[in-house]
Amino acid sequence: MTATLDWMGCATFRLTLGEQVIMLDAYIDRVASAAPTGATVDAIRQADWIVVGHSHFDHLYGAERIAKNTGAKIIGSYESIRIMAAQGVPEEQLLPVAGGETVRLSADVTVTGYPSQHSCVWSAEPLPASDAVCIGELGVTYQEQQEKLQGVWEQLNAMGDEVIAHLQASEQGARGDGGALVYLFDTPDGTLLYQDTSGHWQGILHGLRPDVAILAAAGRGNIDGEPIQGTLAQFVAQQAALLRPQRVILSHHDNWLPGFSRTIDTAPIKAEMARRAPRTELVELGYMDGYTVFA
């Protein structure tokens, strides 16, 4: 079984396992000022499954159309599934998970979801450069985080007509991030971990040993509910050291919403991984590369 990955921008990938097509997140249609990826939601005519990491628009938006166009079943948090039901996706195509469930995708492929964490978007530096040292902001309560998040939404809503129109089109009424999940795919040729935001529970990642790991490289890293005291590069390298995969594939590191996001400089990540996880190869995909996962 040949396993290939097409990166479609942000944290969205198309995983092809032989004849089976699995979407990892579904955010493809983005603002015109973002670099084109060569993909659109309406051009996707085959998908068997859509596996969603969390409920924010830059991950879930598009899943409803792909599911309706292809009949794909959606796996996601209970909040993601609630949103998809509200968007008119038939109930028989919706599989809510909270973490711990193993779903059979085909005769020889399964996926298991695990509880995870979202990056600290409420931080004073929600999208720092990869080598920016961020410290403090420990012990911030939920209410304080929500107050800080208002500044992020105010920034987005002040970015002009293009962004405002995009936010309005992609608004699906998500309650927060909806509960972040990571997924481990088990295939005949190897195991693949998929993460779509920079956060984790150390105890969970420590027990997983994927052959290949897709790791998000954007935002202030979240470790066990607290922001990393250090850099994004250190955060990614620490995850690689916990997981010990043969290869790490980066995600969420492109400039998907110009003026808000940034293209992440991967050189500091490479340097940190060479120090913390020297046996792990770092892979940077171009859009729609058709990368062979278990080469």
CATH number at residue 50: 3.60.15.10
Q: Is residue 141 one of the residues assigned to a domain?
A: no
Residues lower than pLDDT 70 in the chain: none
Q: Is residue 239 one of the residues assigned to a domain?
A: yes
Number of domains in the chain: 1
Check residue 157 and give its pLDDT: 83
Q: Are 291 and 4 in contact (CB under 8 A)?
A: yes
Q: Is residue 132 one of the residues assigned to a domain?
A: no
Check residue 267 and give its pLDDT: 98
Check residue 177 and give its pLDDT: 97
Stated pTM of the model: 0.97
Alpha carbons 200 and 221: distance in angstroms, whole number:
8
Check residue 241 and give its pLDDT: 98
Strands 73-76 and 49-51: parallel
Gyration radius (Cα) of the chain, Å: 18
First to last CA, the chain: 11
Q: How many CB atoms lie within 10 A of CB 224?
A: 11
> What torsion, rounded to 10 degrees, do the Cα atoms 229, 235, 238, 242 define?
110
Q: Is residue 209 one of the residues assigned to a domain?
A: yes
Q: How many CB atoms lie within 10 A of CB 239?
A: 27
Check residue 1 and give its pLDDT: 78
- Residue pLDDT, tens place only, 196-234: 999 999 999 999 999 999 999 999 999 999 999 999 999
Give the Å distances, CA to CA, from 143 to 115, 122, 139, 176: 22, 11, 11, 13
Q: Is residue 271 one of the residues assigned to a domain?
A: yes
Q: Is residue 22 one of the residues assigned to a domain?
A: yes
Check residue 158 and give its pLDDT: 86
Structural domain for 61, as ranges: 3-121+169-292
Q: Is residue 50 one of the residues assigned to a domain?
A: yes
